[in-house]
Amino acid sequence: MLLYLRLLKESFAFAMNALRNNKLRTMLSLLGVTIGIFSIIAVLAAVDSLDKKIKSDLSTLDKNTMYLKSQSFGPSDIPRWKRDQFPEVNYEEFQYLKSNLNNVENLCYQYFMFSRESVKYEGKTVSDLNVVPVTYEFADIQRMEINNGRFFNEAESNAAAGVIVLGYNVAEGLFDNVDPIGKSVRIYGQNVKVIGVTKKKGQSMGLGDSDDDSVFLPVNFLRRLYGDNSKNFLPVIVIKPEKDIDIEALKSEIKQKLRAYRGVKEGEVDNFFLDILSGFTDLIDTFIGSLKMGGWIISGFSLLVGGFGIANIMFVSVKERTNLIGIQKSLGAKNKFILFQFLFEAIILCLIGGIIGLFLVWIIAAMLTKVLDFEFILSFSNILLGTSISAIIGLIAGILPAISASKLDPVEAIRTGM
């Protein structure tokens, strides 16, 4: 054990000596490994950070949450002309399903808006906002977190009350440090009373806009203003199933009841779409996997170049130290000692390149986290992965030079070195 520790110490000394004596050559050789490790870990760190943020945004929703609507969010076998003829889900159907469905924890009625709006308070205006018209059940389904005030209740929701819940950034933009609860703001040309402000969540990477830049209104307030047939929104019924139930059975029940309510005949296709959130999360996982694979492929070329560079510098190192190898072997050094000496040196050189690459990722991640409203994470697993890849590249790149050094004849090595 002590022998290998001494061997590691000497190999590290040789590696550092190579860096000092041949700075340009060594740094150019390490550049490929550094760029390769930087590319892989930077991509993995960015993808992991994106994945964590998306999962965090969606964590408030049950993955079995269903969306009933007239349009499909994904590919469909139904022709476009036929889909365009599907009727919108309406408020009466929402009330019917709420009264007649089993194994459902809650339902809400919501408009997905196609336009952005502005909210005004006295001389201040916050523009380009996402408006979320919903029934009161939305707060439970979405697990809304309120920082100040409250969400609107059942009576306000049913009565189309002129009340509004502001996103955190919207409240900051309109009121600064003033308490907004009870104040009157203007939207859609109407005065509405602020009753709540959401808790700050940060930039959204999941479904839709961040709550911070959104405002929440009773859906009946919009229905009273524009009716049910405006082209500026898509009506949706959001269904939250009870836990540990048969999801497929619930889907069949929803489809059967809505088909019967709409009078869809047997043999005709459903004139609505029922999507489950888990399908969206599966799509995200596939997308994340594709990004990671792309990062590995692109970075692999840099690692390949870096490996050849390390192999080249190790062959040069063997040639420069041929005389020293001959002397070591003449004094009793075994082939295994010479082999491990050069192998450790190659691994140490690659580890140095890998550490530089990891350090660059850490610096850039810290800078981007400060500049953007998004947390970039360099996880321990990615650090361990980068270090392991560096060591493996060093092992592969150094094995042939190390074997050639270990097989040198001591007499010929000394004579050649002289």
The pLDDT tens digits for 288-334 are: 777 778 777 777 777 777 778 778 777 877 777 777 777 777 777 67
| Euclidean distance between CA atoms 244 and 64, whole angstroms | 10
Q: Can you tell me the mean pLDDT for 265-274?
A: 87
Q: For residue 216, what are the CA distances in angstroms to 134, 151, 152, 170, 355?
A: 7, 9, 9, 11, 48
| Euclidean distance between CA atoms 84 and 71, whole angstroms | 8
Residue 1 is encoded by which pair of tokens?
A: 């054990």
Q: Can you tell me the mean pLDDT for 138-165?
A: 91
- Per-residue pLDDT at 131: 92
Which helix or strand (DSSP H or E) is residue 169 part of?
A: helix 168-175
Return all residues near 40 (Cβ < 8 A) that are at least 6 apart: 295, 296, 299, 303, 385, 386, 389
**Residue 294: which of 52, 49, 43, 46 has the closest Cα?**
43
- Per-residue pLDDT at 222: 92
Per residue in 216-254, pLDDT (tens digit) is: 999 999 999 888 777 888 999 999 988 888 888 988 999
pTM over 0.75: no
- Per-residue pLDDT at 380: 84
- Per-residue pLDDT at 219: 94
159 close to 173: Cβ distance less than 8 angstroms: no
Q: What is the chain's length?
A: 418
| Euclidean distance between CA atoms 272 and 256, whole angstroms | 12
Tell me how far the alpha carbon of residue 33 is from its chain's centroid. 26
- Per-residue pLDDT at 33: 81
| Euclidean distance between CA atoms 337 and 67, whole angstroms | 67
Cα dihedral angle (367, 370, 374, 376), rounded to 10 degrees?
A: 40
- Per-residue pLDDT at 11: 64
* Residues paired with residue 69 on neighbouring β-strands, in sequence order: 273
Query: What percent of the chain is modeled with pLDDT above 70?
Result: 87
Query: In the Cβ-directed half-sphere of 19, how many Cα atoms lie within 13 Å?
Result: 16
| Euclidean distance between CA atoms 36 and 358, whole angstroms | 10
With a cut of 80, say whether residue 162 has pLDDT above it.
yes
Return all residues near 9 (Cβ < 8 A) that are at least 6 apart: none
Rounded to the nearest 10 degrees, what angle do helices 219-226 and 91-100 cross at? Answer: 150
Provide the pLDDT confidence category of residue 14 given band limits of 50, 70 and 90.
low
Torsion sign over Cα 129, 375, 67, 268:
positive
188 close to 133: Cβ distance less than 8 angstroms: no
Average pLDDT taken over every residue of the chain: 82
With a cut of 80, say whether residue 172 has pLDDT above it.
yes
Provide the pLDDT confidence category of residue 416 given band limits of 50, 70 and 90.
low
| Euclidean distance between CA atoms 44 and 295, whole angstroms | 7
**Residue 39: which of 385, 397, 373 has the closest Cα?**
385
Q: Helix/strand/coil (H, E, C) string of 21-79?
A: HCHHHHHHHHHHHHHHHHHHHHHHHHHHHHHHHHHHHHCCCCCCCEEEECCCCCCCCCC
Q: Can you tell me the mean pLDDT for 386-414?
A: 81
Per residue in 324-380, pLDDT (tens digit) is: 777 777 777 677 777 777 788 788 888 888 888 899 888 988 888 787 767 788 888
Q: Can you tell me the mean pLDDT for 374-396?
A: 84
Cα dihedral angle (141, 113, 231, 224), rounded to 10 degrees?
A: 70
| Euclidean distance between CA atoms 125 and 127, whole angstroms | 6
Q: What type of residue sits at position 187?
A: I
Residue scoring higher pLDDT (371 or 25): 371
| Euclidean distance between CA atoms 133 and 124, whole angstroms | 23
Provide the pLDDT confidence category of residue 95 given band limits of 50, 70 and 90.
very high
